[in-house]
Amino acid sequence: MEQIFVLIGIALILGFVSSFLGIGGGSIAVPVLYAAFPESSPIEVIAISLGSIFLIANLNLIQFSKHKVLPSKNQIPLMAFACLVGGLIGSEIITGIDPLLMKKIFGVILILLALKASLQKKKDLGEKRNESVPNRQMLVISFSGALLSSLTGLGGGIIFTPAFLEVSKLKIQKVAPYSNLAMVFATGFGVAPHLLSIPIRPPGISIPYLDFLQIGYLNVSVVVFLALGSLLSSPLGVKYNQRVSPERKRQILIAILAILALKTLLS
């Protein structure tokens, strides 16, 4: 029963954070799952995180589609292709490296992104921001985010959001929608190989009486539980994404990046 309450708390946070800032909920889910279920394997945690974010990001896209702030139909295939390549490459090499080492590297990346965001001038967040992302930037950002997503289970949004915001200078209201679409592709392609893998030990994260829904390293019941739980908070995140000022969102993003960086480096 205790793990049910833990999963409920994780689900609520995932839905709000991913839809409000476009930051993949895995940034929160991964360290919390490690702490709450220490007997679970790193690959199992990564698979559940990616699977959950895949469903949650899809739910967010339903909300964003109503506001017509998604990428153009011409750019979506580019994003999907780059995420496919990055996701599959990451899933292949993760079995041969220490996931904890990748978390440390990722922590350093978060610190650099937080520093860059903090140095951004307020005037750069105004009317001069772009309505879309150049194709070359779309390919690089999508590939990089998907690669790191499949290596760490952090969803990729923690890369997509700062990149679209700071590199592409994308309009603030479009950052979260673009990031969520990229997360759909990145996590979907990243989790697929784990469905075909045979776990080397019994799963450490499951819901009582639903163990039969274990597919490879992914427990479908846990993923669905987290995704459905996020339904309660996802609409709230979308609502505030449209209402909170660009400067306030930038401040929140910097704070989250800094906190997650410290958590990742110290874990």
Dist. CA 112–CA 114, nearest whole Å: 5
Better pLDDT: 122 or 30: 30
The mean pLDDT value for 6-16 works out to 82
Q: At 137, list the tokens.
A: 């930037």
Q: Note the pLDDT of residue 120.
A: 64
CB atoms within 10 A of CB 74: 9
Contact, 59 vs 230, CB < 8 A?
yes
Three-state SS at 215:
strand
State the DSSP code for 170: B
Total domains in the chain come to 1
Dist. CA 218–CA 47, nearest whole Å: 6
Q: Which domain holds residue 82?
A: 2-266
Residue 64 above 90 pLDDT? no
Residue 53 above 80 pLDDT? yes
Q: Note the pLDDT of residue 121.
A: 59
Q: Where are the beta strands (DSSP E) in the chain?
A: 214-215, 218-219
The mean pLDDT value for 222-245 works out to 83
Q: At 38, list the tokens.
A: 């220490």
What percent of the chain lies above the pLDDT cut of 70? 92
What is the residue-averaged pLDDT of the chain? Answer: 82
Three-state SS at 171:
coil
Q: Note the pLDDT of residue 22.
A: 66
State the virtual CA torsion across 231, 237, 240, 245 in degrees, nearest 10.
-170
CB atoms within 10 A of CB 151: 25
Confidence of residue 267 (pLDDT cuts 50, 70, 90): low
The mean pLDDT value for 183-196 works out to 90
The mean pLDDT value for 113-125 works out to 67
Question: 76-112 pLDDT, tens per residue?
Answer: 999 999 999 999 998 888 777 776 776 677 678 778 8
Confidence of residue 138 (pLDDT cuts 50, 70, 90): very high
Dist. CA 2–CA 250, nearest whole Å: 35
pTM comes to 0.76
Q: Note the pLDDT of residue 56.
A: 80
Residue 124 above 70 pLDDT? no
Q: Note the pLDDT of residue 185.
A: 94
Confidence of residue 12 (pLDDT cuts 50, 70, 90): confident
Residue 122 above 60 pLDDT? no
Q: What DSSP element (H or E) covers 40? A: none
Can you spell out the DSSP letters for 111-148? HHHHHHHHHS-GGGGSTTSBSS--HHHHHHHHHHHHHH
* CA dist 260 → 31, 143, 209, 220 (Å): 9, 22, 34, 27
Residue 60 above 60 pLDDT? yes
